[in-house]
Amino acid sequence: MTVKDILDCITEIAPLHWQESYDNAGLQVGDMSAEARKALICLDITEEIVDEAIAKNCNLIISHHPLIFRGLKHLTPETYIERAVMKAVKHDITMISMHTNLDNSYLGVSRVLAEKLGLKNLHILQPSECSPELCGAGMVGEFEKPLEEAGFLQLVAETICTPCLRHSALTGRKIQKVALCGGSGVPFMADAMKNHADAYLTADVKYHDFFVPEGNILLVDGGHFETEQFTKELLCDLIRKKFPKFAAEIAETRTNAVHYFVRN
């Protein structure tokens, strides 16, 4: 089995041409025709992730976020990106990343988050023009029974395993219809309101964005890593289903760069 076989498996549900113009999804380091013996799946590639791959004899790393996002002008030990690339090359490890093409897939990042929350009747929040039923940003769904706002926030926090949530002012209404976008989804908040969602869950919300809802919707920032963490399971399950005998496993190394201090 080759790296291309694994890449083709994933791009069946998330073609590379679905990625945004600024992105760098696909092969990052290595040879597409190289044999894939064992894969380590992660959200971010760090030096520690490469070390884990080496320790576990994985010659393929599959990440959501690309390690090489902008062009590299040199390969030196100056940054963690360059050090990780150098170490991967030295140990003959191939890297591929499935980023905004997987964000934009109906079966991708936002859908798995919606399913984890128990939402039903799912559809894309902002459908693309090229393939509106399969490609687009975010997801919209409904709970079978409405939740109080506090109960909804508790459910989100427990589901994504976070000690705290940032959110806009409570609306005083129950939450049944929910829009969400794993990762940085603030640009789609207007779409959430057009869909008459009671709440919008995303990440990377800036201070002034919390004023925008004006009581029309509950805006919740769950954190970038937290709202995209289930992508690892998605990729692993996808590969195992297609290739049951192939060794693919989720990385144990936690790569969330954000840490929380919770006051007693």
Chain segment 38-51, per-residue pLDDT in tens:
999 999 999 999 99
Whether residue 213 is found in the same domain as residue 135: yes
Whether residue 64 is found in the same domain as residue 91: yes
Alpha carbons within 13 angstroms on the beta-carbon side of residue 48 total: 10
Whether residue 203 is found in the same domain as residue 110: yes
Whether residue 66 is found in the same domain as residue 124: no
Task: Examine residue 134 and state whether it is found in any structural domain, yes or no.
Answer: yes
Domain final position from 62, 81, 101: 101
- pLDDT at site 193: 98
Whether residue 86 is found in the same domain as residue 162: no
Whether residue 10 is found in the same domain as residue 86: yes
Task: Examine residue 250 and state whether it is found in any structural domain, yes or no.
Answer: no
Task: Examine residue 264 and state whether it is found in any structural domain, yes or no.
Answer: no
Tokens of 104: 């934009």
Whether residue 86 is found in the same domain as residue 181: no
Task: Examine residue 244 and state whether it is found in any structural domain, yes or no.
Answer: no
Whether residue 65 is found in the same domain as residue 126: no
Tokens of 257: 């760069």
Whether residue 135 is found in the same domain as residue 210: yes
Q: How many domains does the chain have?
A: 2
Q: How far apart are CA 13 and CA 134, in angstroms?
A: 9
Task: Examine residue 254 and state whether it is found in any structural domain, yes or no.
Answer: no
Q: Beta strands of 133-174 (E only): which ranges?
A: 136-147, 166-167
Residue 74 structural domain:
3-101
Task: Examine residue 234 and state whether it is found in any structural domain, yes or no.
Answer: no
Domain final position from 101, 133, 161: 101
Task: Examine residue 259 and state whether it is found in any structural domain, yes or no.
Answer: no
CATH of the domain at 115: 3.40.1390.30
Whether residue 8 is found in the same domain as residue 53: yes
Whether residue 115 is found in the same domain as residue 89: no
Residue whose token pair is 């004006």: 214
pTM over 0.85: yes
User: pLDDT below 50 — which residues of the chain?
Assistant: none
Whether residue 72 is found in the same domain as residue 148: no
Task: Examine residue 198 and state whether it is found in any structural domain, yes or no.
Answer: yes
Q: How far apart are CA 209 and CA 185, in angstroms?
A: 11
